[in-house]
Chain A
Amino acid sequence: MKFTLALAQIDTKLGVVSANLDKHLDYIQQARKQGADLVVFPELSLTGYILQDLVPTVAASPTPNDPTFAPLLKASKDIDILVGFVERDARSLHYISAAYLSQGALLHVHRKIYLPTYGMFDEGRFWASGDSIRAFDTRFGRFGVLICEDFWHASPPYLLWMDGAELLIFISASPGRGLTDSPKLESARWVEHVCGAYASLFTCYVASNNRVGFEDGVTYWGGASVFDPLGELVAQGPYHEEALTLAEVDTRLLERTRTRLPLLRDERPDLVQRELSRILNPPREESRP
């Protein structure tokens, strides 16, 4: 099967959900016009990233009665949509979440697992962390979604691979940092490096989308990218500018690659599980007489 995905690397208004929603609807329409089957928005695309004390004021719920999600669900009748939002659960815990909408319904929600709380990041102060990593079936194949720091760790992409994902979708609000003599920031180089590596190691598609714009002095670098199962970069958005980047995903290429290079067939998750069990549960030292 072939389908076209579109990565919308947008800027956002900090804490102004209605303005951000309008921009989403505009990009969704553009993506449709250009023939995309799925449009992907960045992390916290409906709210902006450095929300701090704004977190509880901008939460939305991916249900038909929610004023933010109602028009998005309606728009998803024609094109699948992945959006980033602030999710509040029944216990008033807030998550950095991503909702996959398709044919007018909610198909999947991923809650960010790893909340960076070091250096310039302070997510652990404001957010609860998710506790599940699941691939899910769509009309275009089986996908997995991760949010920013989730894919700085190797285990979430690995688990999605084991769970059958053919396309890994990574969404970020990645602050640009590490200016050197290279034309790329260190943060951009790192993300592209690991996305290419995951695509190669897991013989799957990896689509990564990152926002642009500024929040106070922090700049987001954009540079959406798609890697194919050979690890080749097949589409890339510009750095530091809003853009809609389209790429074709061909599951036949994935199948051919996995025939030639059967890393998935030969992977030994049972061995991983056994060794992890040993590592996590070392035998107790016998007490000395």
Chain B
Amino acid sequence: MKELSINTDLARKILTGFIRDEIRRAGFNRALLGLSGGVDSALSCYLAAEALGPHNVLAVRMPYTSSNQSSFDDAQRVIDAAGVQSITYPITQIVQPLLDVIPLEENVRRGNVMARARMLVLYDFSAASKSLVLGTSNKTEILLGYSTQWGDSAAALNPLGDLYKCQVRQLAAAVGVPDSILRKAPSADLWPGQTDESELGFNYDDADRLLFRLVDKRFSLEDCFAEGFDEKFVNKVMARIQKNHYKRIMPPIAKLSNRTFGYDFLYLRDWGT
């Protein structure tokens, strides 16, 4: 996909600069991240190691009892290659007591609990290790809302949030993420056999091409139909973008006073740094 191909040297330079600058301006030198063995967290880990030095990056593996062993092994390859600090903290011992009290049958609810358990662990280690949590969400999943609010989407900064999935793969290949990670089907690994594309009902390459038109190029739905995109697919993706917008913004505050956060109290996070 020529239209979505990126200059990986330039992306790498900007994103490592972003990680270094934003973490240091917040008063930190270190980052940590949940390392699943998938391409997004693998790339984030490589970029953080390059930006901050491998000794300043903590990769946290948080398997659940049903998690895929090969993902766990892939994560080890990333840890070894990037040379970062690592720790393994199984979340079964957090999640299981909760499931004993609140038996959750639905995969989605169980998956949300797991994603939020991982967030709890990361934020606790964040305080303990004086590190900031690095997000690993990409533009495709943020647009589709394919994440757990306050779970895997919780982070202090997000270097990959403006790269589509196929662009994440390009950059991951360029920085040396192992082939076994680049080639496998993307999965949140919240239940056995889960893959992103089977759950979403379409593949990422098609989604990226469509999202690039709808978002970056400001195409109308009709413009997309005219380019040959299936009408049902376009409508489904558009509905997901709209329905999940709440995940992309801070919760709205009801305005009462003359000066209210988000409306007329406007400062960057980098204020004063």
A216, B5: Cα distance in complex, Å: 25
User: Could you give, for residues 82-97 of chain B, a 1 whenever the CB lies within 8 Å of some chain A CB and a 0 otherwise?
Assistant: 0000000000000000
Q: How near does chain A come to B165, taking the closest CB pair, in angstroms?
A: 15
A239, B17: Cα distance in complex, Å: 12
Q: How many A-B residue pairs have CB under 8 A?
A: 63
Interface residues of chain A: helix, strand, loop or mixed (majority): loop
Inter-chain contact A53/B9, CB cutoff 8 Å: no
Q: Which residues A170-204 have CB closer than 8 A to chain B? A: 176, 179-185
Given known A-B contacts A214-B17, A214-B22, A240-B13, A179 and B271 have beta carbons under 8 A apart: no
A13, B10: Cα distance in complex, Å: 24
Size band of the interface chain B makes with A? 20 to 34
Q: How near does chain B come to A20, taking the closest CB pair, in angstroms?
A: 12
Inter-chain contact A53/B265, CB cutoff 8 Å: yes
A179, B157: Cα distance in complex, Å: 20
User: Could you give, for residues 257-268 of chain A, a 1 whenever the CB lies within 8 Å of some chain B CB and a 0 otherwise?
Assistant: 000000000000
Chain B residue nearest in CB terms to A179? B6
Inter-chain contact B14/A181, CB cutoff 8 Å: no
Given known A-B contacts A181-B7, A183-B7, A183-B9, A52 and B268 have beta carbons under 8 A apart: yes
Q: Which residues of B contact A217 (CB under 8 A)?
A: 18, 22, 157, 162
Interface size on A, residues (CB 8 A): 24
Inter-chain contact A180/B6, CB cutoff 8 Å: yes
Answer yes or no: A15 CB below 8 A from chain B CBs: yes
Given known A-B contacts A176-B14, A240-B17, A215 and B268 have beta carbons under 8 A apart: yes
Answer yes or no: B102 CB below 8 A from chain A CBs: no
Chain A residue nearest in CB terms to B264? A53
A15, B266: Cα distance in complex, Å: 13
Given known A-B contacts A180-B6, A182-B7, A183-B7, A50 and B268 have beta carbons under 8 A apart: yes
Q: How near does chain A come to B163, taking the closest CB pair, in angstroms?
A: 8
Given known A-B contacts A13-B273, A179-B11, A53 and B267 have beta carbons under 8 A apart: yes
A236, B268: Cα distance in complex, Å: 30
Inter-chain contact B14/A54, CB cutoff 8 Å: no
Given known A-B contacts A181-B2, A214-B17, A219-B18, A13 and B272 have beta carbons under 8 A apart: yes
Partner of B6, one of A52, A53, A176, A181: A181
Inter-chain contact A219/B7, CB cutoff 8 Å: no
Q: Which residues of A contact B272 (CB under 8 A)?
A: 13-16
Partner of A185, one of B2, B10, B17, B266: B10
Q: Which residues of B contact A213 (CB under 8 A)?
A: 21
Chain B residue nearest in CB terms to A14? B270
**Chain B residues close to A by CB (< 8 Å):** 2, 5-7, 9-11, 13-14, 17-18, 21-22, 157, 162, 264-273
Chain A to chain B contacts (Cβ below 8 Å), 19 pairs: A14-B270, A14-B273, A16-B272, A52-B266, A53-B267, A54-B267, A176-B14, A179-B10, A179-B11, A179-B14, A181-B2, A181-B5, A182-B7, A214-B17, A214-B22, A217-B157, A219-B18, A239-B13, A240-B13
